[in-house]
Structures are given as structure tokens and as C-alpha cells.
Structure 1
Amino acid sequence: MSFQQGLSGLNAATKSLEAIGNNVANSGTVGFKQSQVQFSDIYASTLTGSGAAQIGIGTQVARVAQLFSQGNVTLSNNPLDMAINGNGFFRMDTNGAPSYTRNGQFTLSKEGFIENASGGRLTGFLLDANGIPSIGPSPLIINKADLAPQATTTYDLSVKLDSGEADKTAADFNHSDSTTYTHSTSVPVYDSQGNSHILSTYYVKTAANQWSVFASADNVPIGYDPAAVPPANAPVALGTMTFGSGGALTTNPSTLVVPIAVTTGAAPLSITLDHKGSQQFAGSFGVSKQLPNGYAAGMLASFSVSNDGMILGRYTNGQSNILGQVALTNFENPNGLQNVGNNQWVETAESGRPRTATPQSTGLGSVQSSRVEESNVDLTAELVNMITAQRVYQANAQTIKTQDQILQTLVNLR
């Protein structure tokens, strides 16, 4: 009797409709991967003889496969949202149990962990004080502590001095009288406690191709000479800059040491002032490079995620700092993963062992910040598949109806 074939066909069409309905229901779910029911035919076993005349006894569900094709990546207003462009999964930690997801909709917990809607914590590689990433992935935490200040120790300064200026006498230098020096420039520097001080440098042309360099900190001249009489306590030049006939700096070394005594309780400053690249030409004074290191303390203002998963924090003092790196995981057989709901999968024996590494490494995609990966469900195709499954269901129901009519005819035979 063909009731078995028709009944198995009804069950198969029902399973297909269930999968299609689930796909349609999740067409708006971020990171969702559509399912596809795959069938196989059924034949009765034969102990002897050829199977050339065998007729199958129906169909059965072979497996429900998930299609891990790339979904569309769209913009998001949440800077913590992330999308994977390519292979891999975000590795989540829920009370110590790992799970994997393509849904990158994350928020920041009050403790600073990056979490998804179900409370799982995004894992990655934390950096030590030397910037070395950890060996194994662990829950990422955004350190909201202030960035400690760094005292200024070096100052790279390139200036263009005017060779046509008149000569002056270095002994007459007075930082409060602009007629006693030729040019000047200023820049903020920082002590060990992050206090700002204004370091000014002054240039006095004393002879052809020669310039004396003076300095002041917070409008206090640097380098007093108590033995100078008169005038008493006249500032002493930090050094002399000499230029060649072509206008290039010939003083070697090009560095001068600027000692600064501070009264804030911080350690005194000793700044290496490097004039490398300075030039002397006819023309107006200019500064081509002015780069002191050091900075004040800063609060975390924002952070972003780069394509390689690096989480970069930006601070109110203009500095930036790497806070960690997102980890991605892939499997030899992603179809072997077990779906546990909430857009998450867990490892099984058939998926193979997880391979966790940084984004953009071998076999893994990149991470895109402020973006989400949409469901890969093609709604138009699913609606067409739904019509097809419906017709399959009706056709199998018709075979049962026809077989019933045939059986009724046999019963009515006299």
C-alpha cells in the first residue's frame, strides 16, 4: 500500500514548512542563519536478488542544515555593535561556558564587560602593561580608569630662522623684552603629576650663522648665573646653534638639555630639546615641527574597534590606548554546531575543535565596528519555497486520497 509513501511525504512537507516558517520569522534577527531541510529516500532492505524492481517506501529527513553564508552588513548607531565580514564567530563566555554567535549587538555592563542580550560576555585578548596580548581568550573588560600622566622628557623642535636678522648681544637677553631676542616659540610640557607648564625658547642671532638659545618655564628664565655682575642673576644660554653656508644645522649634537624646577611637589623636569632639522634661510621665522612628549591625566572619552579587533580608547587629554582585542573562532565543520537559541551555537564532536585567533588571521574575517550583520534569509525565496512545500503537501495528501479510493473499490467487490 502507498499510504506509507504519502504519510512520509506529508511529514516531510510539514518539516519543510516548519523550517521555512522559522526562517521567515527570523528574517529580521541580526546574525541569524537560515535553515534548510534536506531529505533522503527510504528503501526496504532485500536479503537476496536484485533491487532493480524495488519501489521506495517514502522519504525521511536526513538533516536540517544551516547555511552560514554572509548576511548583509548595515550601519548601526551603537559604537559597540560589531559585524563579522567573512568567516568566524564571536566567542562568548556565560558563567565560564563558551558559546559562539554571529550576532554582534553588544552593550557595556556596569562592570565594564561587553555583553550580549542574554548576558554572555565577549571574549578576546587582554594586553599587559607592555602591550603584550594574553595567550588565551578571556572576557573583555573596558578599563575606565584615568590614564596616568606622563612627564615630558623629550622635545623635538625644528625651526626656520631668518638669516637676514641683525646681530644682537646674548648678554643683553631679557625674556620680558622682545627687543633683546630675535625669535621665540612656546609649547606646553607636563611634570610627573600632569601639571602643565609653558616652555618658551628664545633665539638670539649673535653672529653670522650663529644663534644663542635661551629658555623660560612659566615665564621664569632657565639657567641663572648667580656670579654674573652686572646684571645680577642674568640667564645663561642653553647652548649655541651653528648653521653652514647652505643653511643646514651643523651643531653636533643637535640636542640641548632644559632643566625645569617645579614647585607643585612633582619631580623636576629634565627635557632633551632636539633641534634636528632646523634651518637658517632668508625669510620669516617659522616652526616646522614642535613635538614634546608627555601629557596630563585623561579620562576615557570614547572607544572604537578596528578591523583587526583592536579596541582603541580615546582620552580627554588627546591620547589613545589599546584596551584589548576581540577574538574570533572558527570550526572545521560549522554545520556540526548545535544551535541553543539566542543566536548562539555550542561546540559538538561533529563541529571539530574551535580555532580561536585574532580577526584577519588565517581563515578568519574582519570586524566592522558600528555595524551589524543582518539575517541571511532571502524572504522572496522563502515565500516561493513555502508555495512549493504547500503543493508538495497537497500532492502527498492526494496520493493518500487516491489509495483510499482504490482500497474502497476492492472492499466493494462482490
Structure 2
Amino acid sequence: MSFYTSLNGMKNAQTDLGVISHNIANSETHGFKRSRTEFADIVVGSTLSNPKMIKGIGARVEAITQNFALGPIEQTGSALDLTIAGPGFFTTRSPSNSNTLFTRDGSFRIDGSGFVTDGSGHRLQVFPTDVSGNTLSTTPTDAQIPATNAAGADFVGVTVNNDGNVVATYADGTGDSIGKVALANFIAPNGLKQVGSANWESTGLSGNPSYGEPGTGTLGGLLSGALERSNVDLAEELVGLITAQRNFQANAKAIDTATQLSQTVINLRT
């Protein structure tokens, strides 16, 4: 039994090492949220067992949870580099399969068709507004900047206000609102499914997204010209790495000790 108890311990330490390594590898990934491995003991006993004689048979990985604490803010000066100063997620949509994704990475750009997209081509979602910035609908839609305004003037730049209003400016000096950034929040963010590139998908565990404008309700306001860095603390991760390594070594030593005891019994002479 001690062999399998220690073997489970080694597997758990290996999982912990994998999670910590993933955190360290993404210490420079914008919008990344560190994960933590949570363990639980395993105890088995029947109704007839003496509660004073029940012993544990190891541990198991109970969950790998994410820490959604705000990361450090990095000033960039680019108008479409956005940071949520508080709870919430940017909403993006894949043009290929219409999947809705959620992210804390606010690094956006304009593609050749005028859509505001992330590095993977997913389109930022906004609430439709009139040219003055008044919200017309609470159903998110793709953010798209017209190449010219109603007067035929060419597009020259874009700004994003703290309330999420995306304003396109044109050569004639006018500015038209193209929408307000649609933020999403969840009753249980730890239930979100990681899909890579600092993106998440909603699941039954996270609940459905609750949409709103920046700075309303529990949602944070927007900062333009800044990006949220990873919330990984390298010093903390390195200490965790050493601890996980020691746990692995200790369980390996326990297996070695159990092997020696078994060999002693086998070699007994009568």
C-alpha cells in the first residue's frame, strides 16, 4: 500500500511542477492569470471501521484554480491598448466559427476591413451607439471603424474613453462613436475554461456572462494606452518550485524505503 500512496504523491508533485512551470513560462504574457494546484487527502473506511484506526491512503489533485487578481499595469501609449481597472473581461468573437471568447489581454489593433481585433483575429465586441455615443442596444456586436465618415472624410485615428466609448476621428476634424466596449463578468470566474492565448470560454461552472459598460455595477473602468501584465510573482513561483521538488524527492525516498523493507522480508531465513 505504501508504494501506491507514495506513487500518488509523486504524481501530485509532478502535476504541481507542471502548473508552476506554466505560470513561470507565462510571466511575460499580457492578461495571463496564474494557477494554483489544490490537493485533498484520501481516506477510506467502512461503517464497521473503528474511527480511531482509519488511516489515510494518500492525496489527490482536487482542483487547479486560477487567481484573477489584477496584474501590474504597463503604460504603452497606444490608444487601442486597453486595461480593465477592476473586475471584468473583454469580449471577442471569432469570425470563422462565431465562438465568443473572454480575455483580460487588451492588446487590440485595426485590420484591413476596419474591425478592431486581437492578435488572433478575434473581433472586439461593443454595444452599438449613435455617432454621439448614446447606447442603442445591449447586444454586443463587432467593433468596426468606417474608412470614411458621412461627409466622405478619411479615417485618421481612434481614441477610447474611460467609459468604453470608442471614437473614430476623421480628416475633417469630426469624431464619431462606433460603440462602447462590452465587458463581461461571471458569478464564478474560476469555472471558466482556459483555451489559450489568454482567452477563456464560459462553461456551466462559470455561469452565463453578464454584460455591461465599463465603470458600471461591479465592472472596472477602462484605461487606454496601457496593458495588464501577468499577475505571476516569480519569487513566489520559485519557492513553490523548490517545495514541489522536495515533495517529489520525499515521496521517491518513501518508495525506496518501502522497497528496502520488502527486500528485507523476502530475504529472511528461517
TM range (shorter): over 0.9
Please give the residue correspondences for 1:361-376 in structure 2 after superposition, counting only pairs within 5 Å: 361-376=216-231
Instruction: Give the match for residue 53 of structure 1.
Output: 53
Shift of residue 147, structure 1, vs aligned partner:
4.5
1:137 to 140, 161, 167: 140
Task: Name the structure 2 match of 1:308.
Answer: 163
Q: Is the 8 A contact 2:130 2:177 kept in 1?
A: no
Does residue 112 (structure 1) correspond to residue 125 (structure 2)? The answer is no
Matched, 1:299 2:141: no
Question: Which whole-Å deviations, capped at 9, do the CAs of 1:12-53 have from their partners, x for residues lacking one?
Answer: 100000000000000000000001010001112313133222
Q: Deviations over 1:204-223 (max 9, x none)?
A: xxxxxxxxxxxxxxxxxxxx
Q: CA separation in 2, counterparts of 1:323 and 1:385? A: 46
Structure 1 CA distance, aligned partners of 2:232 and 2:78?
23
User: How big is the shift at 1:80?
Assistant: 1.1
Residues 94 and 121, structure 2, Cα contact 8 Å, conserved in 1 = yes
Q: TM-score, normalised by structure 2?
A: 0.94
- Quick one: distance in 1 between partners of 2:92 and 2:43? 44
Q: How does 1:60-75 map to 2 (within 5 A)?
A: 60-75=60-75
Structure holding more helix per residue: 2
Q: Distance in 1 between matches of 2:138 and 2:68?
A: 28
How many aligned positions are there? 266
Unaligned runs of 5+ in 1: 149-296
1:384 aligns with 2:260: no
Larger Rg computed on CA atoms: 1
Trace 1:152-191 onto structure 2 (pairs within 5 A).
Answer: none
Query: Is contact 2:65–2:190 with CA below 8 Å preserved after alignment?
Result: yes
Q: Tell me which of 170, 174, 198 is aligned to 1:319.
A: 174
Asked whether the equivalents of residues 128 and 134 of structure 1 are also in contact (C-alpha less than 8 Å), the reply is: no
Matches within 5 A, 1:218-257: none
- 1:16 matches 2:16: yes
SS of equivalent to 1:57: strand
> Are the equivalent residues in 2 in contact too, given 1:91–1:98 (CA < 8 A)?
yes
The residue aligned with 1:5 is: 5
Letter in 2 for 1:380: A
Q: Could you state the TM-score of these two structures normalised by the residue count of structure 1?
A: 0.62
Match of 1:402 among 246, 257, 261: 257
C-alpha contact (below 8 Å) 2:128/2:180 kept by paired residues? yes
SS in 2 for 1:16: helix
Corresponding residue for 1:28? 28
Q: Which has the higher strand share?
A: 1
The equivalent residue for 1:94 is: 94
Task: State the Cα deviation string for residues 257-283 of structure 1 (Å, max 9, x = none).
Answer: xxxxxxxxxxxxxxxxxxxxxxxxxxx
Q: CA RMSD in A?
A: 1.5
- Code of the aligned partner of 1:144: A
Q: Give CA-to-partner distance per residue, 1:366-388, whole Å, 9 cap, x none.
A: 11111110000001110111011
Distance 1:54 1:45 in 2: 6
Identity of aligned residues (%): 39
Give CA-to-partner distance per residue, 1:52-103, whole Å, 9 cap, x none: 2211110100011011110011111432111111101001111321110111
Gaps in structure 2 of 5+ consecutive residues = none
Task: Give the Cα separation in 1 of the matches to 2:16 and 2:29.
Answer: 20
Q: Is the 8 A contact 2:71 2:231 kept in 1?
A: yes
CA distance in 2, matches of 1:142, 1:48: 72
Contact 2:163 2:222 in 1 (8 A): yes
User: Which one of 98, 118, 123 corresponds to residue 125 of structure 2?
Assistant: 123
C-alpha contact (below 8 Å) 2:167/2:178 kept by paired residues: yes
- Code of the aligned partner of 1:143: P
8 Å CA contact retained: 1:30, 1:374: yes
Give SS of 1:119's match. Answer: coil
Alignment partners' CA distance in 2, 1:85 and 1:52: 52
Identify the residue that residue 223 of structure 1 maps to in structure 2. none
Structure 2 partner of 1:41: 41
